[in-house]
A and B are shown apart, each in its own frame.
Chain A
Amino acid sequence: MDASQHLLMRTKERLETAMDAILRKADASTVTIRTRKFMTNRLLQRKQMVVDIIHPNLANLSRVEIREKLGKLFKSETDLVFPFGFRTQFGGGRSTGFVLIYDSMEAAKKFEPKFRLARQELATIDRKARSQRKQTKNRRKRLRGTAKDKKQVKKQK
């Protein structure tokens, strides 16, 4: 019968969503963010803090999500939030890391290390292959002074 089948399906759906909510797919509102050791670093024009994220039944948050949440919390652009060093506690459910929030983009570009800017697409590190870099370095070791700057023409072997 249609009505009973319908009812069955509806209850099944409701049960499923309830189970999901309980077990794994907890929604984002159950994530708690706590900040510790907050400090406004005027010298480097930023705010720095240790962040504890409690995310029961979830994998730990990605850096993008952390940036969004903290941007909302501290009312700054997500571009200026730089999280790093997040480690999840043994057993899951809790991760700790560090976050820096800069006052302006110039300050961020000045003080933040290149690799962290590159993570957020604010700077690029164009590099040659690692073996190439090492070979140039070893070639340079044989030269002295300004000859290192000159572009050497490779010898024909």
Chain B
Amino acid sequence: MVSNETSAAVDKRLDAISTQAKQVCGIIDKLRERVEDGELATGNGISFLEVKHHTMLSYITNLAYLTLLKLHGRQIEDHSVITDLIEDRTVLEKMRPLEQRLKYQIDKMLRSAVISADGAQQKQMQVDNHAHRLETTDDPEKATMADTSAKLAAVMLSEDALADPSAFKPNPGSLAADIREEDELAIKSGIYRAPRQMPVHYEEEGNETAKREKEERRMMERASRSRLVRDLMVEYDDRPEMTTATGNPSVGITDERFEKLAEERSRYEEENFTRISLSKKERKGLRTKLTGLEDEFAHLNDFAGLAALQKTAASSGGKTAILDRLKQKRDNESMAEKVMRRRKGGDRDSDDEMFAARSIHKNKRGKFQKAKNRINKRR
């Protein structure tokens, strides 16, 4: 291969090489002396870096030997040097990503070594000075506040923050509870002051309408389960009446609930292959329900429902409120519920409340009753 450079340029380069080589020799000799004197102890260093140095050294040596061979015109094909070179090169390349990962640690160690060598003492003195200056304020509150912040500021300002390796270390002190300054003072003063962070449930006092409505609804539900209303329903309902074989008109609305419960229970049992054990109360309740074939004379004096019905009927907004509410319920029911309602039976009211309301309405149909209503309303 013929190079384009002139021979002068080549000579210049060769001269440069020889002078640089001499300089390097001098530096290496000095270094060797220092190592032999024991100044630079590398025993406790990072062994990873030592490996790197040694491999680099062997790489360079082999490279030099290779160039020597080339200069002397020897054959380099299948020479052991080449395998050694390749080996060293691979090692170095594999070490590079590891070094990347260790970079932060190594830099931090270097910095700490550098700093501890020069100015740790100086820094400490500076911080103390700052703190000392501020402590002389009269206001004790300000002093405590300023003390901590001053220390931090001093630490950050005295040296370049990056140079101080401990500036970014985790601060376990900040794990302590976040107490505000006033609270801290209050705690120190010895008088107990309640903390201002406790959330309390907001109870809107005096929401009369909601309370009244809730009360009404509860009474209606209870009334609809009473004997009186059940009899009314039986009387006014067009559906065929469901009775037992003995002829007692005992099956009422309440059985639906218990039937649903029993169905739910049996479904659970069969799905999970277990038997649910009932408490004593439940068993007693079951027994009464199972044998709950009341005769016609039971609960005839159950007039709890009557009072409730009369009250809600007499109250000015009661009936309409109930009906409105029921209408709302109907309007808000979903498609599925609607289908169920329709499937369960045409136009009849399966709603207890609705039926009760209607029954109230039906009770006051007569002329005399209408007149009485009018008078009551006017009053």
Residues from chain B with Cβ under 8 Å of A36 in the complex: 270
How far does the Cβ of A7 sit from chain B's closest Cβ, in whole Å? 42
Report yes or no: A90 in contact with B290, Cβ–Cβ below 8 A. yes
Residue of A nearest to B275 (CB): A85
Say if the beta carbon of A95 comes within 8 Å of chain B: no
Say if the beta carbon of A148 comes within 8 Å of chain B: no
Residues from chain A with Cβ under 8 Å of B274 in the complex: 85
Report yes or no: A48 in contact with B290, Cβ–Cβ below 8 A. no
Give the dominant DSSP class at B's interface. helix
Report yes or no: A48 in contact with B273, Cβ–Cβ below 8 A. yes
Say if the beta carbon of A141 comes within 8 Å of chain B: no
Interface residue count on the A side (C-beta < 8 Å):
8
Residues from chain B with Cβ under 8 Å of A37 in the complex: 270-271
Residue of A nearest to B273 (CB): A98
Say if the beta carbon of A31 comes within 8 Å of chain B: no
Residues from chain B with Cβ under 8 Å of A50 in the complex: 270, 273
Complex Cα–Cα for A90 and B273 (A)? 20
Residues from chain B with Cβ under 8 Å of A98 in the complex: 273
Give the dominant DSSP class at A's interface. strand
Residue of A nearest to B274 (CB): A85
Complex Cα–Cα for A49 and B4 (A)? 96
How far does the Cβ of A37 sit from chain B's closest Cβ, in whole Å? 6
Complex Cα–Cα for A50 and B267 (A)? 11
Complex Cα–Cα for A98 and B270 (A)? 8
Residue of A nearest to B290 (CB): A90
How far does the Cβ of A35 sit from chain B's closest Cβ, in whole Å? 12
Residue of B nearest to A85 (CB): B275
Say if the beta carbon of A134 comes within 8 Å of chain B: no
Complex Cα–Cα for A35 and B128 (A)? 88
Assess A87 versus B275: contact at CB under 8 Å? Given A37-B270, A50-B270. Answer: yes
Complex Cα–Cα for A98 and B271 (A)? 11
How far does the Cβ of B278 sit from chain A's closest Cβ, in whole Å? 12
Q: Which of B269, B270, B273 has the most CB of A within 10 A?
A: B273
Complex Cα–Cα for A37 and B270 (A)? 8
How far does the Cβ of B198 sit from chain A's closest Cβ, in whole Å? 40
With A37-B270, A50-B270, A87-B275 known, 10 other A-B pairs at CB within 8 A are A36-B270, A37-B271, A48-B273, A50-B273, A85-B269, A85-B273, A85-B274, A85-B275, A90-B290, A98-B273
Chain B contact residues, CB within 8 Å of chain A: 269-271, 273-275, 290
In the A-B complex, the 10 residue pairs with the closest CB atoms: A85-B275, A98-B273, A50-B270, A90-B290, A37-B270, A48-B273, A87-B275, A85-B274, A36-B270, A85-B273
Chain A contact residues, CB within 8 Å of chain B: 36-37, 48, 50, 85, 87, 90, 98
13 A-B contacts (beta carbon < 8 Å): A36-B270, A37-B270, A37-B271, A48-B273, A50-B270, A50-B273, A85-B269, A85-B273, A85-B274, A85-B275, A87-B275, A90-B290, A98-B273
